[in-house]
Amino acid sequence: MEYTVEISNKLNELLERTYDAEKGFKQVADKADNEVIREFFEDRAKQRYDFGHELKKEIKAFGQNPDKGGSTKGTFHRRWIDFKSLFTSNDDEAILEEVKRGEKEAIETYNDLINDTNFVLPPSTENLLMRQRNMIRETLDTANIYENAVS
């Protein structure tokens, strides 16, 4: 029982970050000047919404309850994006820089969970996490391309 609780607790932490990312992408979509970049952010918000549902399903498979809401750290990051965009001449570039920072942190969180030696993830959970992490890497790569285009 403790094993499943430990894994579901880690998945709940990841779920909080997913909520944060979804809210963050919605927020930056509203701030983006470039229509292509705005659509990119809207698509990423939808992607994180889907990630959240997948994680909730996995948590429930462990017999646990998924958490609701987001983290304080995520709220702080979204406020930082607000503050930073007020003082920069190129909002899209500043927003993309913050998105990249958040995506790098998300990849680290996924890697920490996937590589945690305190427990062995079931194959279905590990596959889910690796797939989501790889999609976040693709988002990071695309954000790099867009940032180079607007700078």
Dist CA 104 CA 13 (whole Å): 16
Domain with residue 14: its CATH number is 1.20.1260.10
Domain count for the chain: 1
The tokens describing 4, both together, are: 């499943």
Which residue type does 125 have? Answer: T
Q: pTM for this structure?
A: 0.85
Inter-residue contact 45 to 27 (CB < 8 Å): no
Q: pLDDT, tens digit, for every residue of 58-67?
A: 999 988 899 8
Q: What is the pLDDT of residue 5?
A: 84
Q: pLDDT, tens digit, for every residue of 12-42?
A: 999 998 998 999 899 889 888 899 999 999 9
CA distances from 61 to 55, 65, 124 (A): 10, 9, 11
Catalogue the long-range contacts made by 93-99 (C-beta closer than 8 Å, 24 or more residues apart).
Answer: 93/147, 93/150, 93/151, 95/28, 95/31, 95/32, 95/37, 96/37, 96/143, 96/146, 96/147, 96/150, 97/147, 98/28, 99/24, 99/25, 99/28, 99/41, 99/139, 99/143
Give the domain extent around 143: 2-150
